[in-house]
A and B are shown apart, each in its own frame.
Chain A
Amino acid sequence: MKNLIAIAAAFAATATLASAETLVIKGSDTLGAKLVPQLAEAFKAENPGTTFNIAAEGSSTGFAALIDQTANIGMSSRRAKPTEISAAQAKGLDLRPTIVAWDGIAIVISAKNPVKNLTAKQVEQIFTGEITDWSAVGGTPGKISIYTRNTASGTYADFKELAMSKKDYAGSAQKMAGNEQIVSEVAKNPAGIGYVGLAYTQAPGVKVAAVDGKVPNQADVRSKSYPYSRPTFYYTNGTPAGTAKAFVDFTLSAKGQKIAEQVGFVPVK
């Protein structure tokens, strides 16, 4: 009798979950602020029973949610750290990455700034605080204001690795919660400089500075000839299954990749 009750309860719980069809996606602001919501809308149009709960507060939060089993998919603009992988393993989870789009981290400066090009070395020196005045890189004299993502951000970690030889950020750098906040601040500040994903470069008041003569575009990002190119990921516990698999497949479909391209990402294929 006891077994019967348990089986009945399990069936009831499964039925409840199946009927809800809520996909919880947490993590990267780069992916989650624009691309994933648009993908979710398109997916919902084809799968009316599905609802989404999307929280874009930085890649680290996505891994934390996956490890806590409070998300089905973790969005990330960086690879999982060994500590995150081992934390997942300790709970019997297997973090698996799926590349969903490519991105180039663009250096954004005020549209009023006369600087057009920076060398990779100058970028490193600016963000580490070694260069503090625009006159050192051919700009109008004035103290450089640095805007970076916060420490939960995958872009924060990626940029440190790709552009700063893993050195620490300048103490004066101001940390922003998302890409949109960075472009907003840089647009208001002629002495500002920041970095954002490719999808966030079309904001008014900012322009993209070339790095070693290269402005990030599809071809250069995909071939990695743009120095700050990187893949972006969905992470799942093991091979995705069920609705999560359907959404991953949709993201990688021609339709999904078209949306990624329209948003500003570089398609996987």
Chain B
Amino acid sequence: MTQKNLTTWALACALSIGSAAATMAQDSSALIDALVKKKVLSAQEAEDVRADLIKENTQTNAGKIQLSNSITSLKLYGDIRLRYQYDSTQNQIASASNDAHDTQQSRERIRLRLGADFTLAGGFFGGVGLQTAQAADSGNQTIDDPKDNSAGFGNYNIYISKAYFGWANDYLTVIGGKQPNPFYTTDLVWDADINPVGAVEKLDILKALGSSDSPFGLSIVAGQFAFADNKEAGTAAWTSKYDYSTHDAGTDSWLFATQLIASAKVTKNVKVTVAPGYMTYTNGNVGVLNNQTSFTTGTAVVTGTSLYTVTTGTALFSSQRDLSIITAPGDVSFQLLGLKTKFLWDIAYNTAGKQRTEDIYGLNGIGTYKGHPVSTHSDRDDLAWLAGIQVGENKKAGDWSILANYRQTGLSSVDPNLNDSDFALGYLNMQGVKAGINYNLTDYCVAGVTYYDAWNLRRDLYGGQATAGQAIANVNSVQVVQVDLNIKF
């Protein structure tokens, strides 16, 4: 064996040993080129080494995975959560099947989420997500639930929860598709599981103006989301000024939302963020929604039934109408005893709350329901707010965090199709607390307990869609306990 052959062989061995991490062949290219330049290797010997490296690389597990040339980076991730949930609900008005007014349920649930985020050349990027359960506001799959034929160890469906792509430069981001919620928000208005679908634009105003190293941040986010697609033509004629169900049936429901996010780093450890915003819908009927405590355009409330007696008027019913909401979330983050702490709040005020209460929920004081006069609007219906604190964060083994907040959710203050499905199980006209603790058993495994206790804001609601019809506010109280074990990978 000549000296040069020995060198080549030794080099191939050395690089091969290092190539266990797969992309070695490409990474070694610069080294091989340098050795050719220094005449340690001839060009042909270099090609032999390259060929051997690629050959060995293709035998590794990672080497067998082929990615599109257009991808510059790819991140695969996911999590599995096992949950025990107990909830107890005291209904305000007894349902036909439950005169005792009380409902209790315990469930074992599982949630699987799989995701892939990728970046492409030229500033493009995208992501896809898959998860158990179809509901927009929950990826939980109840184990062995007869309702979805999974009893007796049946298997579960997988749904697309994210599918989007976008483009970004230093200060502007444009995204289209079903994507993570782009807004700074809390679960008062937006359930954390919801990934809206549509177009989003984000502009970092300060960066656009050339300020890159500032203690201040100022961005604007705008979103145009397709909420429900309706058939534009062939719908029934507009029969009366209240006949929204007919009229809105021919209109697509779009959610338009915008938000200004301002932040200031007051000191090294203190940061203040405020994010005033506005959201509104084009008026549209929604026939079917897969959502906890959803509010859809269903069967009109009729007159003359035993449950619901109306002396005049008919149903005024369109789910996505009269929602014109000003939002104002924010937080102050700081260190407390060396722990990251956040005092946070959120406010939502529906400027069209009165119309929504009266026209859409049908609480217009007309008629009686179960012997009570049908309710009328109250100013409390229009406002939702939340205030709370979070101490600690969960990043590595041994980390812990606690959170507690109090909130009120007026009947017409937020869209019941978006609000958190865990607090009061998504019911409106509720107030109460959420408290939880989470602990990192390992860097990737978090155990946690969350407790929700909610009771109604107005006890005088009767009739309309509040306690009859879709009964989105037909509870006196709701308690929920969730015990979670979550593994991220």
Contacts and interface: CB of A to CB of B under 8 A. Distances in A.
A231 B43 CA distance: 9
B47 to A, nearest CB: 5
A44 interface: no
Contacts of B48: 96-97
Chain B interface, >50% SS class: helix
A35 interface: no
Nearest to A233: B47
A83 interface: yes
Given A89-B58, A167-B121, A82 B47 contact: no
Contacts of A83: 66
Given A86-B58, A89-B58, A167-B122, A231 B47 contact: yes
Interface string B54-76: 11011100011010011000000
Contacts of A167: 121-122
Contacts of A96: 48, 51
Contacts of A97: 47-48, 50-51
Given A89-B59, A97-B50, 17 more contacts: A79-B50, A79-B51, A80-B51, A82-B25, A82-B57, A82-B66, A83-B66, A86-B63, A89-B58, A94-B55, A95-B51, A97-B48, A99-B43, A99-B47, A165-B121, A231-B43, A233-B47
Nearest to A86: B58
A166 B66 contact: no
Interface string A88-122: 01000011111100000000000000000000000
A173 interface: no
A80 B47 CA distance: 11
9 contacts: A82-B54, A85-B51, A86-B58, A97-B48, A98-B47, A99-B47, A166-B69, A168-B70, A168-B121
B59 to A, nearest CB: 8
B44 interface: yes
A161 B300 CA distance: 64
Interface of B: 25, 43-44, 47-48, 50-51, 54-55, 57-59, 63-64, 66, 69-70, 121-122
B27 to A, nearest CB: 13
A236 to B, nearest CB: 11
Contacts of A82: 25, 54, 57-58, 63, 66
A85 B43 contact: no
A162 interface: no
A79 B121 CA distance: 23
Interface of A: 79-80, 82-83, 85-86, 89, 94-99, 165-168, 231, 233, 268
Interchain residue pairs A-B with the least CB separation, the first 10? A86-B58, A97-B47, A82-B58, A99-B44, A167-B121, A82-B54, A85-B54, A99-B43, A85-B58, A97-B51
A268 B43 CA distance: 9
A85 B56 CA distance: 10
Contacts of B58: 82, 85-86, 89
Nearest to A222: B43
B320 to A, nearest CB: 40
A113 to B, nearest CB: 28
Contacts of A80: 51, 54
Nearest to A231: B43
Contacts of B63: 82, 86
B38 to A, nearest CB: 13
A94 B59 CA distance: 13
Contacts of B43: 99, 231, 268
B324 to A, nearest CB: 43
Of the candidates A86, A89, A233, the one having the most CB atoms from chain B within 10 angstroms of its own CB is: A86
B55 A89 contact: yes
Given A80-B51, A94-B55, A166-B121, A86 B44 contact: no
A33 B55 CA distance: 29
A97 to B, nearest CB: 5
A86 to B, nearest CB: 4
Contacts of A168: 70, 121
B169 to A, nearest CB: 14
B64 to A, nearest CB: 7
A31 to B, nearest CB: 15
Contacts of B70: 168
B73 to A, nearest CB: 13
Nearest to A95: B51
A98 B44 contact: yes
Contacts of B66: 82-83
A166 B43 CA distance: 23
A95 B122 CA distance: 34
B44 A85 contact: no
B378 to A, nearest CB: 60
A206 to B, nearest CB: 29
Contacts of B25: 82
Contacts of B47: 79, 97-99, 231, 233
B305 to A, nearest CB: 63
B167 to A, nearest CB: 14
A98 B44 CA distance: 7
Contacts of A94: 55
A168 B71 CA distance: 11
Nearest to B29: A79
Contacts of A95: 51
Nearest to B47: A97
A136 to B, nearest CB: 19
A165 B122 CA distance: 11
Contacts of B122: 167
A86 B64 contact: yes
Contacts of A166: 69, 121
A231 B50 CA distance: 13
A83 B59 CA distance: 11
A239 to B, nearest CB: 10
A268 B45 CA distance: 13
Contacts of B51: 79-80, 85, 95-97
Contacts of A79: 47, 50-51
Contacts of B50: 79, 97
B396 to A, nearest CB: 36
B450 to A, nearest CB: 47
B262 to A, nearest CB: 35
Contacts of A268: 43-44
Given A79-B50, A166-B69, A85 B121 contact: no
Contacts of A89: 55, 58-59
Nearest to A164: B121
A82 B29 CA distance: 14
Of the candidates A79, A89, A233, the one having the most CB atoms from chain B within 10 angstroms of its own CB is: A79
B55 A85 contact: yes
Of the candidates A79, A82, A94, A167, the one having the most CB atoms from chain B within 10 angstroms of its own CB is: A82
Nearest to B64: A86
